[in-house]
Chain A
Amino acid sequence: MFKGRLFRKLLLLALASIVLVGCSDKDKDKGSKGSEKGADGKVQLTLWLTPQWEGVLDATENGASYDSFFKHAAERFSEEYDKHDVEIKVEVVASDQRDELLNVNLNGGTPPDIFYESVFAMGEYAHRGALVPLDDIVDDEAKSDIGETYWDNVTFGDEVYFYPFSHMPGTLTYNADMFKAAGLEDYIGEENEIKTWTLEEYETILNTLKKDLPKDEYPGAYPMALYALNNQGDTWNLAYLRMFGNEFFDEDGNIVLDDANGAKAANWLKKIYDEGLTNPGAESVSSNDTIAMFQNQQLGINFTNSVLFNNMKADMESGKSPKFDARLANIPSESGKPLTFTYVTGAAVFDTGDETKIQVSKDFVKFFSSDPELVKSSKNGVPVRSSVVEQYTDENPLFAAYDENAQYVFSFTGNVPGYNQLRQVLYPELQALYTGQKTAEEIVKDYQEKGNDIIKESKEDSVIFQ
């Protein structure tokens, strides 16, 4: 009897605690709250970024690291900003952990104030209503200095959600020393050229590297990088799937990979994999693995973008990795018209619900994205500002090559909502292809089906589409 009553009392206490806790944080509305200032009245902001370039201006500086630029910009902003006393905490987060970190922090109500990243990876958060529009900090000077393509890239619906800073064209990189060792001199481009090969030439290169690369000089080396462990570096996989003319998205933003050209591209990937023209085990190799392998001269051709390429060259200069002659090339296609794409990078401001912090965050984004000295750092990628490109064209002749290559750029995201989740369903299909679980025809069909379901659901949830 007594035990029963005691149990009831404990149960009552338990339920009361649950109700109390349950009531504490039910309000999901992001209304205007008071500014969360530090005890000393400072406005404290958090800026997250994924690894971009090292150093303030370039990677050769002493103690150059991924957060150097933003720490320097934050220091200057704190000194020069007169509306508030500001402290900015800069944190570098791993690219492959970005979504996990953001989802946890968004659901926990603690998103960063600012995130600097490639727009394609962050567009999802604009669709989800987690970002604030930045139109009020974009002035005419910025609009005239930054080309319209870049503004289109950062505009969702009618509003600008990212302040473009630089962009990173995606290409292939090849080891010219390996090419020479295999007798492929004719296929090597100029030092500052983005070489374009036909598909036929590309296949000749892969086969020759496999057959004629001296094994004693390059032990355990493979012609080309192929990876599908996770979603990292998947833009190149998407480009390979367009090699035979597939458009990937239709006008309504639906995936149209399931046609003869899509299947042909998937078959080509499977063919070069089976013929040993790539590294083995693509299904369990990551893009990071292939970067390391290329730097250790275990791969003849790998994927790259302008920042990765610069970082690789800096590693060679500093002795962190073996030195060799690395050059750039386009992704070939059957039609002969090469494939390339670009990642526009820039900062976005999260809707933290604190008007003061949002305003200061916007001011900081505008500050480092338009200050004449600070925007010079965009030369580590390719600057989006014509004024910076002009300043650095002599110093970096590749800017001209990238500029000429811009005619081949395709939009790889199609600006569709749910892109982050789309990335998660691509690599399992590629794994199924490489392990022989599915045919090329099956994977393009299944990816299209799953992908279009994701796009449909994401459109229903998107604040942009509502």
Chain B
Amino acid sequence: MNINRAALKENMTGYLFIAPQFILFLLFLVYPIFEGARLSLYKINYQKETFVGFDNYIKLFSDPVFVKSTINTIIFVVFIVALTVLFGIFVASAVFDKNAKYVSFIRGSYYIPVMVSMVVMSMIWGFLLNPANGLIPFVTREMGLPAVNFLGNKDLVLPVIIFVTFATNVGQAIILYIAAMIGVPKDLFEAAEIDGASRMQVIRQILIPSVKPMTVYITIINIIAVLKIFVVIQLLTGGGPNNASTTLMYFLYNNAFKYNQLGIASAVGVIMFTITLLLSIPQLRSVLKND
């Protein structure tokens, strides 16, 4: 006990330093998680909360829009993350060993969309794709081509959103991959050159394995980011046509703020939190293993 007290006294300064962040963490992250879980078991209206057990969850799983939202979210996660990782590796491996100015130019070019607000990007794409008065449909009409409604066709709307999100986010992956590739020891490349390895072999046998931790990191942060995809849906398609592009986050937003179904929205939040937590475990384990 005395040892503990002495140790506590000794480390008090450290604890005080982390206290502000820790308290904020508890208030704004830990507490909402518990409160969200509690609310998911209630039916809430303006005047009262009624305990309904797992009714909200049962309702969710029998709601076709929720099922559609879950499937769409999985599609977005798989395709956007895969495209981001593949294209990131492709661009980074092509330029990382080139002239420093050229690398900076490429890095800057791909990073600009990341800096532009997703709201602005979505609005610009909206102006381009609006079927009645957008630029792209206008040009296709003028050229006598058949009119295609990119935002209103249930088979095209997902690829369009995947492309828009991927194009906006890929810059970050490129920056991270270039940084990781520049950090790969030069002697590995020299040895490969002496052994007569081709560029493809260097990329496959040296570069990709060397940047594996970065790939894990990029995959995890992108999965978490794409799970929360919302702005582009809200501004570009409104979840349509007929819920073809709705996602879990958009479904949660609609229930919480449009339909005022806070219990249902909280249940969606709990499900999303669980998925994110499960996906984060590998990353957490790899970090702990390194320690």
Contact = CB atoms under 8 A, between A and B. Distances in A.
Interface of A: 2, 5, 10, 13-14, 17-18, 21-22, 28, 30, 99-100, 103-104, 106-107, 128-130, 220, 222, 228-230, 279-285, 289-290, 292-293, 298, 420-421, 424, 427-429, 431-432, 434-435, 437-438, 461, 463
B256 interface: yes
Nearest to A128: B46
Contacts of A298: 132-133
B7 interface: yes
B131 A435 contact: no
Contact of A280 (B7, B34, B137, B256): B137
A280 B137 CA distance: 10
A107 B240 contact: no
Given A18-B26, A104-B257, A230 B131 contact: no
B48 to A, nearest CB: 7
Interface in B131-171: 131-133, 137-138, 141, 147, 149, 151-154
B198 interface: no
Contacts of B239: 428
A229 B152 CA distance: 9
A103 B133 contact: no
B36 to A, nearest CB: 12
A30 to B, nearest CB: 7
Contact of A437 (B31, B141, B154, B256): B154
* A-B complex: 3 closest residue pairs judged by Cβ atoms: A281-B131, A432-B242, A431-B241
A5 B130 contact: no
13 contacts: A13-B26, A17-B30, A22-B31, A104-B257, A128-B46, A129-B47, A280-B147, A281-B147, A284-B152, A298-B133, A428-B242, A428-B243, A435-B154
Interface in B2-46: 3-4, 7, 22-23, 26-27, 30-31, 34-35, 45-46
A424 B152 contact: no
B48 A100 contact: no
B152 A14 contact: no
B242 A230 contact: no
B23, B45, B138 pick with most chain A CB within 10 angstroms: B45
Contact of A424 (B3, B27, B259): B259
A400 to B, nearest CB: 35
Contacts of B31: 17-18, 21-22
Contacts, number: 130
Chain B's interface size range is 35 or more
B191 to A, nearest CB: 43
Nearest to B47: A129
Contacts of A429: 242
A435 B132 contact: no
B274 interface: no
Nearest to B155: A435
Interface of B: 3-4, 7, 22-23, 26-27, 30-31, 34-35, 45-49, 130-133, 137-138, 141, 147, 149, 151-154, 237-243, 254, 256-260, 262
B152 A435 contact: yes
Nearest to B138: A220
A434 B257 contact: no
A429 B240 CA distance: 10
Contact of A128 (B4, B45, B262): B45
B152 A103 contact: no
A375 to B, nearest CB: 31
A204 to B, nearest CB: 24
A143 B211 CA distance: 77
A243 B251 CA distance: 33
A283 B27 contact: no
Contacts of A292: 133
Given A5-B4, A281-B131, A424-B259, 4 more contacts: A10-B22, A99-B260, A281-B152, A431-B242
B153 A435 contact: yes
Contacts of B259: 420-421, 424
A22 B38 CA distance: 11
A30 B257 contact: no
B196 to A, nearest CB: 52
Contact of A435 (B4, B238, B241): B241
Contact of B7 (A2, A21, A129, A279): A2
Contacts of A18: 26, 30-31, 34
Contact of A284 (B22, B48, B237): B237
B27 A17 contact: yes
Contact of A103 (B27, B154, B242, B258): B258
